[in-house]
Amino acid sequence: MVLLKDLTLLNGVSGNEDAVRNYIKERAAASGAKISIDSIGNLIALKPGKKPKFKVMLSAHMDEVGFMVTGYGENGTLKFKNIGGIDERILPGKRVLVGSSAIPGVIGCKPIHMQERDERGNNIKLKSMYIDIGADKKEEAEKAAPPGDYIAFHSEFTEFGDGCVKAKALDDRVGCAIMLEMLSRQFEFDLYACFTVQEEIGLRGSEVAAYCVNPDIALVIEGTTCSDVPGVEKQEYSTILGKGAALAIMDRTAYYDRNLVRFIHEAAIKNNIKIQYKQTATGGNDAGKIQRSRSGVKVAALSVPCRYIHSPVSMMSKWDFDACRDIVGCVLGEFSENQGMIESIKQGGQANV
């Protein structure tokens, strides 16, 4: 978990992934991968195969949801906007880090004892919130945090309960950590590990990366929603914590290749690795752009279930993380032993495990 801890403690709000990219670059280069960074900021690590006939693309995004400074109050508070999808209800009282200097701040709002009766029954809107960095005057706040400064959640990596982890940015530092582990291995095919940018604001980086790589097959590794909590009916669960990695069939952005999905599921079962199907079709990920790149790419998405996603207290099971990592390694190993499987899936046929 050391690698994942390091990654989640880094701040990388969409459009400002520099710290995460620099960390990944150092470790990917140490694995012997050839590193390139494109114009939009994606880091593409190529691990050349021994006898490459195909190109397999792994994709995980480096960015996380967060905020940006947009203005100031006369009393030295910061006005801000969200970057990526965030539930406004969770924000009051949350700790944040502002700008490159990581200035500590707290998201505040009108105190409850000052609210009118009808206000207390309504959810507070982001436009009514502010960030308090301890400044007394507008000019002081402007100097400390210029307009456009990025703001990240402040959250420590914590292990607790029965193999559980709490952290920010599990979506998608879990994928980044798994891909870094895959780069330490050697395969027959060319492996392209694409650490993408700006997924949370429109899957932007993956569109550029997929066009550049032009892969034969792509596998997106994600942190996905886990809704097995009180108040949600069992039939509405997206995934269940502790039941293994989640394999998607379709979502809002992509319809995953059925043959590739079946192959991954059978490989997991054959190797006694816990796997579950994602039960909802909401949300989306980089596969939506990769699938439609150039003349089309066969894609699948394998995820780690995470409760309270897009918050500073996202939660996962270490066992689900291990399952996701093991399945990715198993699938790549199968492809390496028989590259004909890649050709079969690419041509629309089934490949037997």
Q: Which helix (H) or strand (E) holds 317?
A: strand 314-317
Q: Are 191 and 338 in contact (CB under 8 A)?
A: no
CA dihedral sign, ordered 198, 43, 333, 240: negative
CA 172 to chain centroid, in Å, comes to 2
Tell me how far CA of residue 70 lies from CA of 3, 16, 77, 81, 152, in angstroms: 33, 16, 11, 7, 14
Q: Which of the residues 199, 200, 207, 334 is marked catalytic?
A: 199
The residue assigned the tokens 């891909």 is: 179
Q: Is 222 labeled as catalytic in the residue annotation?
A: no
What does the DSSP assignment read for 81-141? EEES---GGG-TT-EEEETTTTEEEEEE-S-GGGS-HHHHTSPPPGGG-EEE-S-SSHHHH
Q: Are 47 and 62 in contact (CB under 8 A)?
A: no
Phi and psi (nearest 5°) for 256? -75, 150
Q: Are 179 and 58 in contact (CB under 8 A)?
A: yes
DSSP bridge pairs for 246? 276, 303
Short-list 28, 26, 14, 25, CA closest to 64: 14
Phi and psi (nearest 5°) for 270? -60, -35
Catalytic residues: 199
